[in-house]
């Protein structure tokens, strides 16, 4: 079993202690139980985020390559279309 020492703001400590005692009781080990749950919750959430990030390619252009291959219009035609849409929105 490891020991981690952390510094947190007084208000956070107060709220953590109150919540831990209400959930785990006023006996020895309740803060440790609450801290372990809090650490595991954070680790699980961060792991999910890191897993998603690792699946995304680093180069944004490369990750978009092929997304619009089904579009039959040229880039110039799409630019003109966007210009028309913007003009219509500006008139509103």
Q: What is the pLDDT of residue 32?
A: 93
Q: Which of 5, 38, 1 is nearest to 19 (CA)?
A: 38
Query: In the 8-state DSSP scheme, what is residue 60?
Result: H
| The pair of three-digit structure tokens given for residue 86, joined into one six-digit string | 């913007």
pTM for the whole thing? 0.54
How far, in Å, CA of 43 to CA of 25, rounded?
24
pLDDT in tens, 71-84: 888 889 999 999 99
Mean pLDDT of the chain: 88
pLDDT tens per residue, the chain (92 residues)? Answer: 788 899 999 999 999 999 999 999 999 999 999 999 999 999 999 998 888 777 766 677 777 777 878 888 888 999 999 999 999 888 87
């Amino acid at each position: 079993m490891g020991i981690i020492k952390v510094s947190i703001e007084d208000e956070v400590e107060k709220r953590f202690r109150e919540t831990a005692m209400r959930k785990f009781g006023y006996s020895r080990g309740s803060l440790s139980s609450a801290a372990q749950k809090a650490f595991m919750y954070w680790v699980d959430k961060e792991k999910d985020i890191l897993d998603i990030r690792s699946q995304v390619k680093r180069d944004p252009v490369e990750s978009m390559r092929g997304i619009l291959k089904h579009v039959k219009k040229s880039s110039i035609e799409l630019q003109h279309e966007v210009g028309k849409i913007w003009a219509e929105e500006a008139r509103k």
